[in-house]
Amino acid sequence: MPGKIQVARQLLGRPLTLTEKILYSHLDKPATSAYERGKAYVDFRPDRVAMQDATAQMALLQFMTCGRDKVAVPSTVHCDHLIQAKVEAGKDLQIAVDSNKEVYDFLSSVSNRYGLGFWKAGAGIIHQVVLENYAFPGGMMIGTDSHTPNAGGLGMIAIGVGGADACDVMAGLPWELKMPKLIGVHLTGKLNGWATPKDIILWVAGKLTVKGGTGAIVEYFGEGAANISCTGKGTIGNMGAEIGATTSTFGYDESMERYLRATGREAIADLANGIKEHLTGDAEVYANPSAYFDQVIELDLSTLEPYINGPFTPDLATPISKMKAAAAANGWPTNVEVGLIGSCTNSSYEDISRAANLAEQAVAKNLKAKASYTITPGSELVRYTIERDGYIDTFGKIGGTVFANACGPCIGMWAREGADKKEKNTIIHSFNRNFAARQDGNPNTYAFVGSPEIVTALAIAGDLTFNPLTDTLTNEAGEQVKLDPPSGFELPPRGFDVEDAGFQSPAEDGSGVEVVVSPDSQRLQLLEAFPAWEGTDLKGLKLLIKAKGKCTTDHISMAGPWLKFRGHLDNISNNMLIGATNFFNEKTNSVKNQLTGEYAGVPDVQRAYKAQGIGSIVVGDENYGEGSSREHAAMEPRHLGVRVVLVKSFARIHETNLKKQGMLGVTFANNEDYDKIQEDDTFDVLGLTTFAPGVPLTVVAHHKDGSKDEITVNHTYNDQQIEWFKAGSCLNVIRKEFGVA
C-alpha cells in the first residue's frame, strides 16, 4: 500500500486525503493521470464482498449463472434480515429457522459450493459482524446493503451496492464507480454529557439532507475524530447512507487499534501500526482542508447537544432543547409508546453499557419505564458478552425485551401488536431510517431517531418532549428525580466472550456440493436472462405511474413480509411500486390501466401491459430510489416489462442497479417537464440507435388530446454501461465473457 500511495501522490502532484489513498491503491489498472471527481468512471479491485440474506439470494442466483467455480475474493453471507421480532430472541429465532429453512439451506449450500463464509441465523447483523471480523484500515469492500459504510469506523472505504455489482467482483471482474467528490468533516473538541457519536451524524444529516452527500465520500478528521471510539465511528459511517453518501471513513488511530486487539486481530493492528502514516490523510490536507475537499464542514463536539431526527425522514434534525416547541408546532404526538435500541447502527458494547447505566439509574431512583422498551443486539459476540456482564438482567428490571441478533424492527421485520389498526402514535429508536410505515407497517407511526441513551431516557419518561439534560421525572414515591448523564465502557473490561459465534467455513473443494432449487418453490426461483435491446428506438410505451414526492426503495419494493420472496423474482414483483403515491389520485397502489380505463394495483396493471407486449415508463421525483441498496427495486420493473425510469434525480445505488439490469434510467434536463406528464400519456424514446455518453435523449409524450411534448432527458451512461443496456443486462455481458450461453 505505501508504494501505491507514493505513485498516486506523484501522479496527483500534491498531498492526499485518506480517501484518495485508499481509492488510488485499489485501482484495477495503474492510472496515467488524475481522475476527475464526479465525472470519471473508474475500475477498482475491492478486497472483499459481504451480503445479507435478503440480498444474497438474488446476488448468488446471478453468480450461479456466470460460469465461475469459486468466488475470486473473500466473500461472506450473513443471515440477519429474515428473522421477525415478535416475542423474544429464543422463540423468534426458532420460528425463523423453521420457516426459512429452504432459504437458509440454499444459502448454506451455495456458500459451500462456491467458497463463501456463511454466518448462520442468530450470528448477528452483517455490519456489526463485519466490523468485528473483517473490516481493516485502508481496505476496500463492497456489500449488498446500503449500510455497508459501517466499516468506515475501522478506516475502510466500504460501499453499499446491488447484487449485480457483488456478482462482478465475486466473478473476478473489476468494479466500476464514478470517482466520488470529497466532503471533509472537521471535528474539534470532545463529546460530553449526553452527546454521543450518533448525535454527530444526526447533526450532519440535518446539515446535508438526504441527498447532500450523493456522489461523495465523507472523510472525518481532527482531534474530535480521534476522541471517538471505533464503534462510535462505525455508527457515524453507518448512518452516512442517510445523506446519500457513497461512504464515510476515518483515519486510523488508537481507538481502532484498541478495537482490533479487543476482537482478536492483533496481527492486523501490528501491520496497521507499521504504516499508520499511510492510513490517514496527509498533514497538509488537514491543515488546509478547503484546498483538498470539495466541501468542508466544521463541528465543535464540545458544543453538540443531543438530536432527535424525524418523523418520516432521517434528516429532519431537531436539537433536544427545541423538541417541545417543534412537536407543538407540528402536531406530533408526544406520548412515546415504544423505545427501541440496538440494530446495526447502535448495538456496540459501548452503546449497550451506556443505555444499561440509565436503566440502572431508573431502578435506583424508583422509576418505571412508561413506554415499551426493546433491545436488539448486533451480534452474538455482543449479546453473549452483555449477558455475561449483567446488562440483559438490568434491562429486564425496567421491562426490556431482548430481540434476536438480527435487523428486526429496523427493516420492518417487527410483528408489532396493534399496528394493523393504523392508529396515530410515536416511537423512538436508535436505528438509521424512519420512513413512513418502515418499522411496523403503520403509516401513522411517527418514528423518531436518537441515540440509544436518548431513546432509553425517553422510554423511561414516555414523553417525546422530555429533555433529560434539564427536566426531572416523578418517581413511584412522588419525588422529583433527575437522570445523570450516562456512563459506560468503550470495550468490555473483561474482554469479549462467546460460545458459538455462528460461523460456517466453506468446503475446501465445493465442486461436489449440489445446490438444489425446487421448480415448485415459492421462495426461490432460478433466473432467466433478460432479453437484449431490440436495436430500435422505444415506441408506444404506456405511463405506469407518475410517482409523487419521496419514492425510496421501500416504496418501490417493500421489505417486511415481502422479504420471504427475495429469492423469487416473479413472486416479489407483486410488490413493485405498491408504496409509491400516484400523482394523479394521491393514492398508493392505484394506477390507471390505459387498456381498460380502470384503476388497479401497480403490478396488476404492469402485468396486463406485459401480457400484451406493451412496454411502460415510470416517472419519479427527486432522489428517486434513496434508501436501501435492494436491487429488487430495479429487477422487478425489468422483469415485468418497464423499459424506462424518468425522474428528476436518482439516488446513487438505485441508478447503478437500473443500469446493471439493462434498464434505461434518465433524468429531466428541465425539472419543470415533470409537470407535463399526463395520466393517459404514451411515450416514445428517441436517440437510442445512436446512444452515446454525454448525448441527451428525447422522450416524446403523446397526450390523449392529440398534442405532444418533446422532452430532453439526460443520462450518465458510459460506453460500458451502454453495452449493458444493449446486451439486456450486465450479467448477460459477464456470461458472454465466460463463454456461458
Give the catalytic positions in this structure. Answer: 80-81, 145, 433, 628, 630
Cβ 708 vs Cβ 702: under 8 Å: yes
Greatest alpha-carbon pair distance for the chain in Å reads 79
Q: How far apart are CA 170 and CA 59, in angstroms?
A: 10
- Tell me how far apart the terminal alpha carbons of the chain are, to the nearest angstrom: 39
Q: Which residues of 322-343 are buried (b: 16+ CB within 10 A; e: fewer)?
A: ebbeebeeeebbbebbbbbbbb
Burial group, residue 276, by CB count within 10 angstroms (0-12, 13-18, 19+): middle
Helices 652-660 and 163-170: crossing angle in degrees, nearest 10, is 60
Q: How far apart are CA 578 and CA 594, in angstroms?
A: 18
DSSP string over 424-436: -EEEEESSS---T
Cell 435487523 identifies what position? 407
Cβ 243 vs Cβ 204: under 8 Å: yes
Burial group, residue 292, by CB count within 10 angstroms (0-12, 13-18, 19+): buried
Cβ 217 vs Cβ 245: under 8 Å: yes
- The C-alpha angle with vertex 259 and arms to 256 and 260, in degrees rounded to 5, equals 85
Name the residue among 727, 721, 722, 725 with its Cα closest to residue 740: 727
Q: How far apart are CA 104 and CA 98, in angstroms?
A: 10
Q: How far apart are CA 404 and CA 425, in angstroms?
A: 25
Tell me the three cell numbers of residue 344.
Answer: 446495526
Q: How far apart are CA 168 and CA 164, in angstroms?
A: 6
> Please, which residues bridge with residue 299 across strands?
187
Handedness of CA 636, 641, 647, 652 (dihedral sign): positive
Q: How far apart are CA 428 and CA 468, in angstroms?
A: 15
E strand or H helix at 478, and its extent?
none
- Cis peptide bond upstream of 311, omega within 30: yes
